[in-house]
Amino acid sequence: MSDTIDATPLPTPAAPQGFWSTVREAIRGTQQDYTEGPIGRAIFLLAVPMVLEMVLESVFAVLDVFFVSKLGADAVAAVGITESLMTIIYAVAIGLSMGATATVARRIGEKDRDGAAVAAVQIIGLGVVFSLSLGVVGLLLAPKLLALLGASPGVIAVGRGYAMLMLGGNATVFLLYLINAVFRGAGDASIAMRVLWIGSAINIVLDPLLIFGIGPFPELGVTGAAIGNNVGRGVAVLIQLWTLARAKGGRIAIRREHLRFEPAVMGSILRLSGTAILQVLIGTASWLGLIRILTRFGSSAVAGYTIGIRIIIFAILPSWGLSNAGATMVGQNLGAQKPERAERAVWMAAFYNMLFLGSVGLVFIVLARPIITLFTSDPQVSGYGVDCLRIISYGFVFYAYGMVLEQAFNGAGDTWTPTYINLACFWLWEIPLAYVLATRTGLGPRGVFIAITVAFSTLAVVCAILFKRGKWKQKKV
């Protein structure tokens, strides 16, 4: 088939039956070969379940902080500071998942399903080892880590149990991320969507029950949120493993002959993932620097920032669906020796992402105050939250392109380029700028929010320049 782009790459409202039948196909699961046919349709089939996968995750992120906000500023600050610590765990999990997606997508593009299954086994094994190691450290040192980031004694008292459970129980985060990355790399985006929806739904139900002690459940405060989180994700992981073993209707199946240690495959994944972990660690750990600056201004500033960021995550997470769709298209089409098709898919996904995220950003700018007041009646916390939401939303159009382009590099197996970009934009640019604006110009927390917007916008421009040079097309995986 031709690799040319359709003039109308997505189903249009003029043909509603075709549009909705494509949506149903995307949600149910499809056997579409993403290396053939119209690029727009391929992106659509991948993106719909990936976006929906992230939608419920983003709904949970907002509801979680909504419930916790009823416990006061210290409880919200405890969640915010613990989330900053969790960025280390997320960095390793996401880094490994990038290696997983790139490797599995390349094998599927080469029509080597057994190779994809063997890679999946190595990926799961790596996830178990990493999560157990980090879990022990987090469980033992949680209170000290909270104090290291500037948490007050009141915040530590409230959030000690929450931090210990979230850090110690990180295996659910690891395996959920990694196995869903395997599904996405294989093109089974609908399976990843259903698994995450089940886990998030359980989490959403348990959160208020355990936080407030509704019915027969004990009142555990912010610690209840951590229990609900781990239970929901744990159930999702069990479903993932059952699906891989059952492998009915999917592109990847783990059978008994695949359950073996393959040093060469694991070494290749570790080389890819090692750089990707460093890449994400540089990006996500920069939030530790930002939270450390914000703690200078008290719990209200941290609480306002936490609420604002959770609402922003509400918009950003669905956008990751389009970014992941672009990464899968890159990996599979490079495997099929179609680099130009991969490039066109990335620019198309970035444009769709810009339309979506730009629209959401406009809503947040106009309605920042009424949105924030849904979460807190504290005027000081609300003020910080409004500033955070409004200022960061100004950069949403840039973020949309930056997210897709960075993931495209990773989908190609070129994990070093975005690593260098993250280092320059976040550690050499964002954190120094945030410190200067917050502490030397009188802007306070608002200076931190401005620095975030400037840094992510810079990242998008740099990514676009480097992506157009095309060196990622020659990367071997």
**Residue-wise DSSP of 127-190:** HHHHHHHHHHHHHHHHHHHHHHTT--HHHHHHHHHHHHHHHHTTHHHHHHHHHHHHHHHHT-HH
Contacts of 10 (CB under 8 A, 6+ apart): 40, 41, 43, 44, 352
Residue 162 lies in a domain: yes
Which helix (DSSP H) or strand (DSSP E) does residue 51 occupy? Answer: helix 39-69
Query: In terms of residue numbers, what domain contains 214?
Result: 37-474
Q: How many domains does the chain have?
A: 1
Better-scored residue on pLDDT, 52 or 297:
297
**Torsion angle, alpha carbons of 440, 444, 446, 450, to 10:** 20
* pLDDT at site 110: 87
* pLDDT at site 247: 63
The string of pLDDT tens digits covering residues 413-431 is: 898 999 999 999 999 999 9
The string of pLDDT tens digits covering residues 300-352 is: 998 899 889 888 887 787 788 889 888 889 988 998 899 999 999 999 999 99
* pLDDT at site 250: 63
* pLDDT at site 171: 92
**221 in Cβ contact with 158 (< 8 Å):** yes
Residue 15 lies in a domain: no
**19 phi and psi, to 5 degrees?**
-60, -50
Residue 7 lies in a domain: no
Report the chain's mean pLDDT, rounded to a whole number: 87
Q: Is the pLDDT of residue 89 over 90?
A: no
Residue 31 lies in a domain: no
Better-scored residue on pLDDT, 136 or 94:
136
* pLDDT at site 7: 37
Q: Is the pLDDT of residue 29 over 80?
A: no
Q: Is the pLDDT of residue 15 over 80?
A: no
The string of pLDDT tens digits covering residues 369-412 is: 999 998 888 899 999 999 999 999 999 999 999 999 999 998 89
**469 in Cβ contact with 409 (< 8 Å):** no
* pLDDT at site 13: 38
- Alpha-carbon gap, residue 420 to 287, rounded angstroms: 17
Q: Is the pLDDT of residue 4 over 50?
A: no
Residue 170 lies in a domain: yes
Residue 1 lies in a domain: no
The string of pLDDT tens digits covering residues 255-284 is: 888 889 899 889 888 888 888 888 888 877
Where residue 192 falls among pLDDT bands split at 50, 70, 90? confident
* pLDDT at site 124: 93
Better-scored residue on pLDDT, 180 or 4:
180
**Torsion angle, alpha carbons of 276, 281, 287, 288, to 10:** 180
Which helix (DSSP H) or strand (DSSP E) does residue 274 occupy? Answer: helix 263-294
Residue 24 lies in a domain: no
* pLDDT at site 452: 95
Where residue 248 falls among pLDDT bands split at 50, 70, 90? low
Q: Is the pLDDT of residue 64 over 70?
A: yes
* pLDDT at site 350: 94
- Alpha-carbon gap, residue 447 to 430, rounded angstroms: 11
The string of pLDDT tens digits covering residues 433-470 is: 999 999 999 899 999 999 999 999 999 999 999 999 98
Using a pLDDT cut of 70, give the percent of the chain over it.
95
